[in-house]
Structure 1
């Protein structure tokens, strides 16, 4: 079988460059396109050189329609506006779209789901194996413990991250909400300041830290009477997200159109 031909969106950014290195190291996939914003100063640069590799002849382009002509999929860790523009083309081409973009609004997610009758979408707030296994554990623990155990989610990222709480924090919060059979939007508390009053039983709290070069640390705390359970994941390198995204892309290649998650890719959903 021939290699899966992939486009990296945001190829000039930190995650994009990591994805290009990961593709170069992974059997079964090949880089066929490197996408950047039409206004980027990096257009025309060699994507291999930008990623710290020998020249690969795949130059950064702002034209996804042309790049996708001969592609099997796109991996997209960009920003919401770019992802929404990219999903329209992925759907038109009928190619795999792996979405790791965070900060998407409810309306953005509705747009993504609206095209999955034509596109094969794998979307997750975090593509790492460890985080998705953690989410499965969080769901089980939340289901097993009652409201005597308060749920708090603490996350820390590097100082350049532009959205908060992180997509991973929301992924873990959603897992906790599913375990408790509640609506996350209705029960989440995302900021506390001033005289807030006592904590409401059943709420799911979020706390955000930013600083330094932290790739991503997440802890889910179940705080009960006189005891705490803490489930933690610490990311040490963006390569874990890149490898997870490649696993997702290869898993999705050839599947029927639909909206999938890393739980599908890793067979974490109950049969």
Structure 2
């Protein structure tokens, strides 16, 4: 069976990668696209909405998925609390897979970083650094924030209190509870994330480097093919591709 996709964010970098991947994969077809300038036709026959856009367009795509009772797969980041709550509420009616990153490797990194944080303990300070292309708007990236939340939870810390984005205003030594977040922007970098565990006399680095945005497209297609078999609820991408912990 060919899976019919509605692609929201078709003009973006991941949207373009999805178009390229689907063009050579007979298991998928794009039946409609949406951008900031032009939205989906009212009643397209599709199996799933795939969204890699921005929060305002995601809101419209979510409404469309709800109205037609079809699943939503979204990698849009930079959501505020209200939109996150709307996704959770909508998941009572349809399956929704929302992930900061649809790379299988990044989702493995999330698990490994949390495990390292638990095993190494407070003797190792944690810092997270990420690099993306010059056009990326949100900072830190959604993936960096997900890594921060994962290692904070593994240490029994509140991400809201422990993630530090600016050290320029407070000239004091770092505490053991801090998790520093570093951001670089430039060039055409698809995405790099490194979690540093810094001890006395040694450090451990866990890194992921994306060299082709098609990895995100392939991950999103994998999610779309599997989420259609799920009932209503929030579906964890990591569990979809790596299994339960």
Q: Is TM (by shorter chain) over 0.5?
A: yes
| 1:45 counterpart residue number | none
| Contact 2:94–2:233, Cα closer than 8 Å, also in 1 | yes
Following superposition, the deviation at residue 89 of structure 1 comes to 1.9
Work out whether 1:198 is the aligned partner of 2:197: no
| Contact 1:136–1:268, Cα closer than 8 Å, also in 2 | no
Following superposition, the deviation at residue 64 of structure 1 comes to 5.2
TM-score of the two chains, using structure 2 as the length reference: 0.95
Following superposition, the deviation at residue 211 of structure 1 comes to 0.8
TM-score of the two chains, using structure 1 as the length reference: 0.86
Work out whether 1:63 is the aligned partner of 2:40: yes
Root-mean-square deviation (CA, aligned residues, Å) is: 1.4
Following superposition, the deviation at residue 195 of structure 1 comes to 4.2
Cα separation, 2, equivalents of 1:263 and 1:179: 17
Looking at both structures, which has the greater relative contact order when contacts are Cα pairs under 8 Å and sequence separation is at least 6? Answer: 2
User: The residue matched to 2:194 in structure 1 has which SS?
Assistant: strand
Cα separation, 2, equivalents of 1:128 and 1:255: 21
Equivalences, count: 245
User: The residue matched to 1:146 in structure 2 has which SS?
Assistant: helix
Over residues 160-217 of structure 1, what are the superposed CA-to-partner deviations in whole Å (9 max), with x where a residue is unaligned? Answer: 1100000110121122122212221121111221443110112211000011111111
Of the three residues 89, 93, 108, the one matched with 2:83 is 108
Over residues 240-266 of structure 1, what are the superposed CA-to-partner deviations in whole Å (9 max), with x where a residue is unaligned? Answer: 100000000001012101101211211
Gaps of at least 5 residues in structure 1 are: 41-60
| 2:105 counterpart residue number | 130
Of the three residues 247, 251, 260, the one matched with 2:222 is 247
| 2:74 counterpart residue number | 99
| 1:143 counterpart residue number | 118
| 2:210 counterpart residue number | 235
| 2:3 counterpart residue number | 4
| 1:169 counterpart residue number | 144
Q: 1:82-97 counterparts in 2 under 5 A? A: 82-97=57-72
Q: Do the aligned partners of residues 254 and 81 (structure 1) sit closer, same or farther apart at CA in structure 2, a change above 3 Å counting?
A: same
